Amino acid sequence: MPGTLVTLDLVGIFVFAMSGALVGVRKDVDVFGVMVLAGTTGLGGGFLRDVLIGATPPAALADWRYLLVPAAAGLLTFVYHPVVGRLERMVNVFDAFGLSLFCVTGATKALEYGLGPVPAALMGMLTGIGGGMLRDLLAGRVPVIFRGELYATPALAGAAIAVVGTRQDLPVLAVAFAGASVCLVWRLLAMWRGWQAPMPTGPASV
Which residues would be at the binding site for its own copies (CB under 8 A)? 22, 24-34, 36-37, 47, 51-54, 56-58, 61-62, 64, 67, 78, 81-82, 84-85, 113-116, 118-119, 122-123, 133, 137-140, 142-143, 145-146, 148, 150-153, 196-200, 202-206
80 vs 171 by CB, closer to its own copies: 80
Question: Which residues, in sequence order, are CB contacts of 18 under 8 Å at separation 6+?
Answer: 38, 73, 76, 77, 84, 91, 94
Q: Which is nearer to its own copies, 94 or 119 (CB)?
A: 119
CB 199, min distance to its own copies, A? 5
Give the end-to-end CA distance of the chain in Å, rounded to a whole number.
Answer: 50
Question: Measured from the CB of residue 61, what is the shortest distance to its own copies in angstroms?
Answer: 4
84, containing H or E segment:
helix 81-86
Give whichever of 4 and 80 is closer to its own copies, judged by the CB atom: 80
Task: Return d(Cα 18, Cα 38) in angstroms, integer.
Answer: 6
Residue 144 is which amino acid? V
Compute the CA torsion angle 163, 166, 168, 171 (nearest 10 deg): 140
Q: State which residue, 101 or 138, has the beta carbon closest to its own copies.
A: 138
Q: How far is the CB of 171 from its own copies (least distance, A)?
A: 27
